Structure 1
């Protein structure tokens, strides 16, 4: 289940901008990365108000994946109508994003130890993302004469996998709605109750820095694939999957680093890695220096694990059991929702401004693009380093976070 869950996401998320660029929608490539965080903002409300209260988890999971698969089969047919294309992607993401929480909820319900067993389940998600990239570049790439990322095949791959997972979901163990009969409020779903309880200066600085850092972060997911194509890389999705391979390695090393560095230095290392990544891209761009680009991609393990996963651990340790779920949900809302939404629009408009009327950026122009998120991330790093001064943790909840990357 978890393997297909992230195979589906990785198959289209790392290729859609390349596809749009080669089908006359180069000015709109930021919109898939805008509708995705919109769906991430909506998903908790759907889960809290509907799915978690009235329907068995495996049935909702199956219906949403089947519906999403049908929509994704239709998406390539709307290539000639950009507005319809984007709206279909919005509808698809509204189907897909709630399934992330549903898949986690189903897994938690049927395991004995969340801290020990869930990471072993969740790692199959990262493997699914990796295999998606390798499948598109290496398998599909050998079946057709052109670059597969420029075709609709990744979208059809996503659609097919969605239907398969949708059908498979109905065979999963019965999981009753976890919130049946419970009272729920929009305030609790949005995590505002948790914010009121956890709120101190250090936590507010952490939340502000997390939101601000996600603005330059959005440029990576949208434009790295286009940059790789412009730099002459043919196996774009497979090359990007090196980042997820790095993520697995650094996830295993995190306990060692955490013991030596602590929360603040871990978070600062994650932020600094984003600055370095974009700086490497800017330096590499004019000459398409492939090894510098690869180092930038391999930094994903530090970029993601040291920032996002450490942030989840910080929130988890700071929370009491009563608001832990709300607190993690609020962090996701701020980062994957609001931060990525703003970032996608900013990055897209900056790219179009630098592009002018051309079909894309020349290699000489790419440094002007990458230096901006590098500078923004550096400012956030300084802001965080100066103002984040956490008090000693109270022994309330030293558990690992329930959600992974």
Structure 2
């Protein structure tokens, strides 16, 4: 299934790029592409978890491998100076198709955990998982709400940070933004050591505070740059009128 999804998502992405001159078709195809591609993230984790014997020891290493791949891809895009072109989409589509073909031959057979169970729409939609929201003292509501806003901030940063850096005159923005992934690798490497000293709730609190600090600093820089540009425009307008 994951091989099929990779191939389909790659084809959809390439098709969307080829029809980028038609905005409605491009957005529609890109939306379908995201729907097809999104399940591969969970499937990849499930396959890894199903076949890794010592999950606590080896899964973090596998996870770091994905981040290293992200850094490599960003560096390649920057070396090609392709941040503002369709090249990243084309590379992503081709790599997705090739990966799907390779995975078809090398990935082990991994049947669903509930293969012989009766089909139930409640399980598909995940209705029963919402029962955890009503468990007294679990704090699950706070956890879900916090993750929602943290993910929203991350998505906005990924979307608009390259535009900001480009407008600020910074070249090779993809490579510069991969510094965040480098710090992610370092943090994940330190987590086992930090777990010996702090509990999970404390570590998550530190992580959330770091998100607030980073986004606050980034927003402050954007605000100062906007004020500077506004003052510069007013100064030029005043000088021209004078």
- TM-score range for the pair, normalised by the shorter chain length: 0.7 to 0.9
Q: Distance in 2 between matches of 1:213 and 1:166?
A: 31
| TM-score, normalization by structure 2 | 0.83
Match of 1:395 in 2: none
1:256-267, aligned counterparts within 5 Å?
A: 256-267=193-204
Residues 285 and 176 (structure 1), Cα distance of their counterparts in 2 relative to 1, 3 Å cut: closer
SS at match of 1:164: helix
The counterpart of 1:152, out of the listed 83, 86, 95, is 86
SS in 1 for 2:131: helix
> Please, which of 99, 103, 107 is the counterpart of residue 169 of structure 1?
103
Find 1:218's aligned residue among 130, 134, 155.
155
Partner of 2:221: 284
- Answering whether residue 89 of structure 2 is matched by residue 89 of structure 1, we say no
Post-superposition offset of 1:217: 3.5
Aligned residue in 2 for 1:200: 136
Offset from partner CA, 1:186-231 (integer Å, 9 cap, x none):
3334444344257224222222222233333432121111111111
CA contact (8 A) 2:50 2:110 kept: no
Bigger drift between 101-110 and 64-73 goes to 101-110
Distance, in Å, in 1 between the alignment partners of 2:228 and 2:30 is: 30
Question: Structure 1: how far apart are the matches of 2:83 and 2:116?
Answer: 46
Distance 1:123 1:216, change over 3 A: closer
Summarize the Cα distance change of 1:107–1:263 in structure 2 as closer, same or farther, 3 Å threshold: closer
- Listed one character per residue, the Cα deviations across residues 7-66 of structure 1 (whole Å, up to 9, x for unaligned) are xxxxxxxxxxxxxxxxxxxxxxxxxxxxxxxxxxxxxxxxxxxxxxxxxxxxx1222111
1:113 and 2:50 matched = no
Does the Cα contact within 8 Å between 2:14 and 2:93 map onto a contact in 1? yes
SS in structure 2 at match of 1:260: coil
Output the CA distance in 2 between the equivalents of 1:99 and 1:205.
Answer: 27
Give 1 or 2 for the bigger CA radius of gyration: 2
Could you tell me how far apart the structure 2 residues matched to 1:362 and 1:74 are? 41
Quickly say closer, same or farther: Cα 1:167–1:112, change in 2 above 3 A: same
Q: 1:363 to 1:82 in 2, by over 3 A?
A: farther
Match of 1:129 among 54, 70, 92: 70
Kept after mapping to 2: 8 A contact 1:106/1:175: no
Distance 2:210 2:116 in 1: 45
Q: What's the CA shift for 1:287? A: 6.7
**Closer, same or farther: CA 78–173 of 1 in aligned 2, 3 Å:** closer
Contact 1:285 1:364 in 2 (8 A): no
1:227 pairs with 164, 176, 197, which one?
A: 164
Find the partner of 2:173 among 236, 245, 257: 236
Q: Does the 8 A contact of 1:231 with 1:363 survive in 2?
A: no
Is 2:184 the partner of 1:247? yes
- 2:239 is aligned to none
Q: Which residue of 2 aligns with 1:295?
A: none
Unaligned runs of 5+ in 1: 1-59, 142-147, 289-360, 366-405
